[in-house]
Amino acid sequence: MRFNFFLSEALSSLRRNWVMTVAAVLTVFISMAILGLVLVIDRNLNQGATSLKNRVMIEVFLKDSATPEQVAALKSRIESMPEVKGAPTYVSKDEALAEFKQRLGANAASILQNLSTNPLPASFRIYVKNPNEVDRVAARFFNDPIVDNTPGTHDGVRYAQQTVRRMLGTIDLVEKGMWVATIIFSAAAILLISTTVRLSIFARRREIEIMRLVGATNWFIRWPFVVEGFITGLTGSIVAAVGVFVVNWTVYNWIHNSSVNFLGIKVYPVWIQSGQWPLGLLPTLALLGAVLGALGSLVAMRRYLRA
């Protein structure tokens, strides 16, 4: 109703109590920055984990002697497996050779010219829905008659057995850790902000008492404080969000420009394209801070507004 009055009351009180204002903004900034960093790291690790999990692939090499019927039968068997994600990719001998050429690049022509026959086997590439099931799925091809196993081994079926297992263990641990961290830091942020707000309202309890004596309704007293908390929270968390954004961007650039390897995979695709998610994080953090500030004021005022 009298929004202008409440806004100007809030602004002038922020100016007059500027020490408290700075303290509150800093508190919001620090707690939101920490929370924001935890969220960004969590998000990046999740992205990384997902991208790593999606790379878990089983390659099944086929004997040259396999007939098209046998290949088709194997394909439909694979498709009927519930653990398999999507249709398996069939790579024919020619496609395998073409891929090989591409990987060799400029030297390919001279090397491959001398080959009279194509030595590369055809294969199926299979992705599983859940990386935990990769062992089970792979084992089904160990004794298949058309799979190109060297007698006594399973070398016709290839997948990153050890790597997958170690990776899954790490990812699981990291994900649990980040959950705990997110909860702890959210709680810390809420506590810190509410303590600061409570302090600043305690310092002004006399003011509230006087407002009540001249007949101000509780909401008339509350609004300026709520607007004040909102502005404080918004300011602190916008600064925090920008800070988190810059940090994420810097780390992304740093990793992108170095050739850090993690379990044989370049890390940089793990970090989201510069700031994509942090752009979404910005308003989230800002709004969260503003709401925390406003709610903090409301809660902290309760004891002074009881009749």
Partner 1 sequence: MITFENVSKVYDGGVVGLQNVSMHIGKGEFAFLVGPSGSGKSTLIRLILKELEPTDGRILVAGRNLNTLRRSKIPLLRRNIGCVFQDFKLLPDKTVFENVAYALEVVGEPRRSIRRKVPEILNLVGLGDKMNSLPSEISGGEQQRVSVARAFVNHPPLLLADEPTGNIDPDTSVGIMQLLLRINRTGTTILCATHDREMVDRMRKRVLALDSGRLVRDERRGVYDSEV
Write down the least CB distance from residue 25 to partner 1, Å: 19
Please pick, from the candidates 87, 184, 209, 303, the single residue that binds partner 1 as defined by CB under 8 A.
Answer: 209
Indicate the length of the chain as a whole number: 307
By beta-carbon proximity to partner 1, the closer residue of 13 and 196 is: 13
Please pick, from the candidates 7, 101, 132, 220, the single residue that binds partner 1 as defined by CB under 8 A.
Answer: 220
Rounded Cα gap, residues 287 and 204, in angstroms: 26
By beta-carbon proximity to partner 1, the closer residue of 219 and 254 is: 219
Write down the least CB distance from residue 17 to partner 1, Å: 8
What residues contact 229, with CB distance under 8 A and at least 6 apart?
Answer: 197, 293, 294, 295, 296, 297, 298
Q: At what angle do helices 218-257 and 161-202 cross, to 10 degrees?
A: 150
By beta-carbon proximity to partner 1, the closer residue of 158 and 212 is: 212
By beta-carbon proximity to partner 1, the closer residue of 103 and 206 is: 206
Regarding 216 and contact with partner 1 (CB under 8 A), the answer is: yes
Write down the least CB distance from residue 304 to partner 1, Å: 13
Please pick, from the candidates 19, 106, 180, 214, the single residue that binds partner 1 as defined by CB under 8 A.
Answer: 214
By beta-carbon proximity to partner 1, the closer residue of 170 and 218 is: 218
Distances in Å between the Cα of 11 and the Cα atoms of 7, 46, 193 are 6, 41, 19
What residues contact 150, with CB distance under 8 A and at least 6 apart?
Answer: 156
By beta-carbon proximity to partner 1, the closer residue of 19 and 214 is: 214
The one segment of 171-179, 213-221, 242-250, 294-302 that binds partner 1 by CB under 8 A? 213-221
Write down the least CB distance from residue 206 to partner 1, Å: 8
DSSP 255-287: HHHS--EETTEESGGGS-STTHHHHHHHHHHHH
Q: Reading across the β-sheet that carries 57-61, which strands appear in turn?
A: 84-91, 123-128, 57-61, 157-158
Write down the least CB distance from residue 34 to partner 1, Å: 33
Looking at residue 128, the DSSP 8-state letter turns out to be E
Please pick, from the candidates 132, 186, 218, 284, the single residue that binds partner 1 as defined by CB under 8 A.
Answer: 218
What residues contact 225, with CB distance under 8 A and at least 6 apart?
Answer: 10, 201, 297, 298, 301
Regarding 16 and contact with partner 1 (CB under 8 A), the answer is: yes
Residue pointed to by tokens 């859940």: 130
The one segment of 101-109, 129-137, 207-215, 245-253 that binds partner 1 by CB under 8 A? 207-215
Instruction: Return residues touching partner 1 (CB under 8 A).
Output: 2, 5, 12-13, 16-17, 206-207, 209-218, 220, 307
